[in-house]
């Protein structure tokens, strides 16, 4: 979305913020009662990195699947498109000579 300049719907942002707040609220007790040690900070950092990597990989897979589906759809629609009324007995036009 960033490369193509597309904007996300407001509902997606609201859902993402509510999800982050929910996860923070559910784990706040454990985070507040733990001592801040190096191991904890490394674990939290790796968690954020893995979530970001999974989100990007999932978005890429969905984009690839969407492109594949679109190519199949438009190939099928163009291939089996019904002729215009009155053109049933005409031959299809020949492609231009290269």
pLDDT digits (tens, 9 = 90+) for 5-21: 777 788 888 988 899 89
Residue 91 falls in which region: left (phi positive, over 0), alpha (psi -120 to 50) or beta: beta
Please, which pLDDT band fits residue 2 given cuts at 50, 70 and 90?
A: low
Identify the pLDDT of residue 66: 83
Q: Which residue has the higher pLDDT, 28 or 53?
A: 53
Task: Please tell me whether the overall predicted TM-score, pTM, comes out greater than 0.85 for this model.
Answer: no
> H or E stretch including 15?
helix 10-32
pLDDT at 18: 92
């Amino acid at each position: 979305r960033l490369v193509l300049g597309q904007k996300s719907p407001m509902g997606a942002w609201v859902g993402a913020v509510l999800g982050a707040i929910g996860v923070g609220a559910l784990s706040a007790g454990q985070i507040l009662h733990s001592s801040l040690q190096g191991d904890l900070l490394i674990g939290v950092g790796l968690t954020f990195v893995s979530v970001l990597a999974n989100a990007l990989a999932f978005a890429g897979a969905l984009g690839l699947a969407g492109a594949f589906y679109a190519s199949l759809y438009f190939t099928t629609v163009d291939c089996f498109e019904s002729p215009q009324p009155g053109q049933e007995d005409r031959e299809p036009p020949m492609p231009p000579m290269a």
